Amino acid sequence: MKKIKYYISYSFGIVAILFISYLVIGGFIKKQSLGRNIEYAKAIIIDHFYTIRYTDFFSYKFSVNGQEYHGSGWHYPDSDTFSVGDTIRVVYDKVNPDNNKTYRDYIYSQKESPFIIPVLILMVLLPLWRYRKK
């Protein structure tokens, strides 16, 4: 019975690490692609403001070569003065324009980049430290 619990907990840990790694590495690859293939465009805020888990967002649309793309960005109701129909600046991946961000969110994400590597190292080392053999 102890072996079964050990294998279940071990396999659950492996699956959790793989899933988190997939999310982090996928986001990192998407961010790197946007950084390498960056293009700028003007976008129009469309009639869609919404909140997810106490975070406010807004939606926008922009066109590249006649094709229309949609995206969303963080909305700060206390300081943002834009409304529906206003024009904002967005950055997009020229290879995949579906990979886009508002210019403000892109600059903010560039500032938080140095913290990714230590977090990944801690994600690997903490479980190893916790389950080390004494």
Segment holding 133, helix H or strand E: none
Give me the pLDDT at residue 113, please.
Answer: 61
Please report where in the chains the tokens 């024009």 appear, as a residue: 87
Q: What is the pLDDT of residues 31-58, one digit of tens each?
A: 888 888 889 999 999 977 777 788 788 8
The neighbour count for residue 124, using CB atoms within 10 Å, is 11
The total number of structural domains that make up the chain: 1
Mean pLDDT of 63-82: 84
Angstrom distance (rounded) from CA 96 to CA 46: 21
Give me the pLDDT at residue 40, please.
Answer: 93
Task: Characterise 43 by phi-psi region: left (phi > 0), alpha (psi -120 to 50), beta (else).
Answer: beta
pLDDT at 116 over 70: no
Mean pLDDT of 97-111: 86
- Domain span at 7: 2-130
